[in-house]
Each structure stands twice: as structure tokens, then as C-alpha cells.
Amino acid sequence: MDLAELLKVAEAAVDRGRVVTDSRAPGVLTSKGDRDMASEVDFAVEREVRAFLERETPEIGVLGEEEGGATDGTRWVLDPIDGTVNFIHGVPLWGISLGLIHEGRAVAGVIDHPALGTRYAAAEGHGATCNRKPIRGSECTDLSDALVAVGDYAVGPDPDRVNAERLALTQLLYPRAQRIRMIGTAATALTWTAAGHFDATIMFSNKPWDTMAGVSICREAGVVVLDLDGSQHAPESRGTFAVSAGLADPLLELIAQTVA
């Protein structure tokens, strides 16, 4: 695959999504379950980006968060608005996230933050950039110096059980890390880890539209990306752990104490 060319396609597709986010308010909200929703803009961006990708790369499937699609093979994975709750509340931490999976691996990604004016992009073997400038992850080796992002607490069915691991990790982290952050968007947390702003991001989830673009960007920025058991991250991984190499082992020890 010519990943450099496909990255250009991805950027052009995200450009079209950006036109939608720049011109529309969130509009009517559609409930997706307990305290989870999609806005009109989520659907509009997904349809615009999907239509473009289907024209430009008809041989590659498309999986979108809101309307589904391809679940295997080489495929684009799209979150039209990652951080919808932030978006509808006017918090500028949200983004359009478009990744490419090939042979069971995240190989390219574009994450655009319209409200922040930043775009992150990467393709395997071509490095990672923010606004066209190369980025590298943190070199932190001491957990007491580390700024660690964690994924959102879950909503929906049986939240107490689902959140037990997240709460246990927080209990272990707060006396050890310099600070903990929860920002409400996996895409942004992963790009900020790729750029070295966060020293690690730990998420007890791995929805491909949330993570695949960010995983590709992190890897190309020299960040280690693992599943919660320390194995290499893959689309089917249980969770997503992006970390400075020097912090991987001590954080894996803490994660192992919390995972049932």
C-alpha cells in the first residue's frame, strides 16, 4: 500500500469534515443510551467523509461510529466528532479522527482539532506531525514527574462494575504520578501523548474509531502502544495504553493490580 498517498486522501477527507464542523452548530441530539448522544454534526461529518472515501478509495471499506460499516479487512475507521459531550457543551477538546487499519494494524491516521487549530497526522514509516511539524513523545522515566491521562468513566448498563477498574487505577495513580488528567476525548489524549504533553494515556477501552488514528500517530512519534496486559496493541485489544518507554513497566505493574 502507498501509505503516503493514502494519508493525503485521509487529510482531504478530514478537510471535508472540517467544513461541516466550521459551519454548523450541534443541532438536535440523538440519544445512544444512558447519558450518551450524537449530534446532528456527528452524522453530517460522517456522511460527508464516508462519501468522499468511498469515491476516492472504493477498494477500502469504511467503519464509522454512528452508522457502522466494514468490520474486517483493510478499512478506514472514523469518529466524526470524538468528544461529542465536550463539543455540545462548547468545550474545545474534540476532534475528527480518521484512521486506517491494514492487516490488523493501525497504519495511518489524521486527527484534526478544529477549535484548537491543530492537526496531527502519521503514516507508518513516514513519521508523525502536528501542523506539518515533526513531533516526538515524552522521554519521562520517573512516574513522580509524569502527567498521565486516563479514559472517561463509563456510562450505560452496570456502571459501578464497569468503572471498578478505572477507580482502582485512579487510587493507585494519584499518590504516584505528578498529576492525572481526564479530558473526555481519546483522540486528543493520544495526540497529546504523541506530542509529549502527556507522558502516558491509559484507557480501559479500545473502540477502533476512537483509537486507531491516535495509535498510528503515537507509534510514529516513538510512543510505545500496548494492550492492558503489555502485549502489542491491535484493533481487537481490550484497552489502549500509550506510554513513554521509560514508564511502561511501572505503569503496567499498576494496571495489572486493577484488571480483573
Question: Contact 108/122 with Cβ under 8 angstroms?
Answer: yes
Q: How far apart are CA 79 and CA 75, in angstroms?
A: 13
So what CATH class is 3-134? alpha beta
Q: What is the pLDDT of residue 36?
A: 79
Which option is the CATH number for 143-257: 3.40.50.2000, 3.40.190.80, 3.40.50.300, 3.30.530.20? 3.40.190.80
Annotated binding site for Mg(2+): 65, 79, 81-82, 210
- Binding-site residues from annotation: 65, 79, 81-82, 210
Confidence (pLDDT) at 35:
76
Question: Which pLDDT value is given to residue 82?
Answer: 97
Grid cell digits, residue 79: 469518529
Cβ contact 24:40 at 8 Å: yes
Which residues of the chain are in CATH 3.30.540.10 domains? Answer: 3-134
Name the H helices within the chain. 3-23, 40-56, 84-88, 159-173, 186-194, 208-220, 248-256
CATH 3.40.190.80 residue ranges in the chain? 143-257
Instruction: Let me know: does 243 contact 136? Beta carbons within 8 Å.
Output: no
The label of the residue with cell 509529549 reads 196
- Short-list 86, 82, 85, 111, CA closest to 192: 111
Tens-level pLDDT at each residue, the chain (260 residues): 899 999 999 999 999 999 999 999 999 888 887 777 899 999 999 999 999 999 999 999 999 999 999 999 999 999 999 999 999 999 999 999 999 999 999 999 999 999 999 999 999 999 999 999 999 999 999 999 999 999 999 888 888 888 999 999 999 999 999 999 999 999 999 999 999 999 999 999 999 999 999 999 999 999 999 999 999 999 999 999 999 999 999 999 999 999 87
pLDDT recorded at residue 38: 93
C-alpha cell at 15: 478537510
- By the 10 Å C-beta count (0-12 exposed, 13-18 middle, 19+ buried), 157 is classed as exposed
